[in-house]
Structure 1
Amino acid sequence: MQKEQHDRLYSYKDIQHWEGNWELIDGVPYLLASPSYDHQYVVGELHLALAPYFKACGCRVILSPFDVQFDTDRDEEEAQTVVQPDLFVVCDSNRITKNRVKGAPDIVIEVLSASTGIRDRNHKYHLYEANGVKEYWMVDPSNRTIEVIGLEEGRFQKRAVFGPKDVLTSFLYPDLAIPLDSILNVEVK
């Protein structure tokens, strides 16, 4: 993903017909690169691990590409902050529309790559924190880790890092336990 250099701010109506998948953060467009096998493997395995748990809770686990609009005070076409997290959990199904989720998901999971890691750790971290995402997971397939960050008193303050030999636990859902051995042990020849 690379930031495109522009001299103005864009809205969703500007980017919706551009070639490729795009995200907007405060009116600045970012082109989404094609993901690697490692990326897709981890996203798929996490989806399989999370879906049964959250279905039983009445929540939805949603895969990218699907839009999340954070500036809900704007009309969909005029939105300037619309992103496509790799995986996310929404427990209020009233916020899910045909084309997007309006407002912060409960949990957002981003799988880091060379082209997205800095943005996921900086821009999106602050975006998710400021908009009330209750838990943010940053998955680093290269280092085989998942960093879980929890919101407390309006700020990301809780942090835990898990590796392939660990069982991931959530701050938000303490009875959620995911063994990570098969999820983080990706081998590509």
Structure 2
Amino acid sequence: MVISNSPSPLTILENGDRLNREEFERRYTASKIKKAELIESIVHVASPLLYTPDGKPHSNIITWLGTYQAVIAGLEVGIEPTVRLDDDNEPQPDAVLFRVNGNAKIDADGYISGAPELIAEIAASTVSYDLHSKKRTYERNGVKEYIVWRTLDRQVDWFILENGKYNKLEPDELGTIRSQEFAGLWLNVTAILSNDMSAVLKTLQDGLYN
């Protein structure tokens, strides 16, 4: 199937459509769809989100990142922002953390352009495209750290970019993963999987002030 490169009167956006970024944005803007992503030229339209496997973990990740951003100057946190990565990819990550003067910029029309330093996604399991096509896209575009919380599997995968490839960070003996890109950004994996946000924020405070 040939990727569409010419203007079209269509305003329909469906799973599996193959589009370039310009046509994807045009149709997305004209539609009533709340969340859609373009990954490797393929459209992914999000299903309605459930609270326990999606909404609550999303809130917890944002609380963790937002607490860190509130202490460290020069950082921005975003919730489901549209990110213009390249001509074939325009994801809408669950959360982003990026430096004000870093790789990612805010375009004149308000979208993020370029790769945020850190992206976090909430996924059901390893079958999700978050760990396949989207992971390849983030790796290729230079997202330095990528977190996938697999809620059904009760696992957190944290990848760091080294020599152009993602390598997985493992928790230490206390169950904590420490960011390599952001000093003091520590995640108590055991606590966040148990929905113990008090312990998650305590570990973060340890990272920030030790």
Please give the TM-score of this superposition, normalised by the length of structure 2. Answer: 0.72
The SS at the match of 1:99 is coil
Aligned Cα root-mean-square deviation (Å): 2.6
Deviation at 1:40, TM superposition (A): 1.4
User: Which 10-residue stretch deviates more, 169-178 or 36-45?
Assistant: 169-178
- Aligned residue among 165, 177, 180 for 2:186: 177
The one of the two structures with greater contact order (alpha-carbon pairs below 8 A, sep at least 6) is 1
Q: Which runs of 5+ in 2 are unaligned?
A: 1-13, 196-210
Residue 82 of structure 1 aligns to a residue in which SS?
Answer: coil
Q: Which of the pair has more CA radius of gyration? A: 2
User: Percentage identity across aligned positions?
Assistant: 21
Residues 90-138 of structure 1 show CA distances to partners (whole Å, capped at 9, x for unaligned) of 1135712453210111001111126x94311111000000000000111
CA distance in 2, matches of 1:95, 1:139: 26
What is the letter of the counterpart of residue 14 of structure 1? Answer: R
After superposition, give the CA deviation of every residue in 1:130-176 in whole Å (9 maximum; x if it has no partner).
000000111011222211100011221x212459x722321222422
- In terms of fraction of residues, the more strand-rich structure is 1
Rate the CA distance shift 1:139–1:82 in 2: closer, same or farther, 3 A.
same
How many residues are matched? 174
Aligned to 2:32: 19
| TM-score normalised by structure 1 residue count | 0.79
CA distance in 2: counterparts of 1:15 and 1:35, whole angstroms: 19
**Pair 117,103 (structure 1): closer, same or farther in 2 beyond 3 Å:** farther
Gapped regions of structure 1 (runs ≥ 5): 72-78
Match of 2:161 in 1: 151
Q: How do residues 6-155 of structure 1 correspond to structure 2 at under 5 angstroms?
A: 6=17, 9=20, 10-20=23-33, 21-37=35-51, 38-55=53-70, 56-64=72-80, 66-71=81-86, 80-92=88-100, 95-97=105-107, 99-113=110-124, 117-155=127-165
* Greater helix proportion: 2
Q: Which amino acid aligns with 1:92?
A: V
Over 3 Å counting, the alpha-carbon distance change for 1:137 and 1:33 in structure 2 is: same
Change (3 A) 1:50 1:67: same
Separation (CA, whole Å) in 2 of partners of 1:174 and 1:144: 26
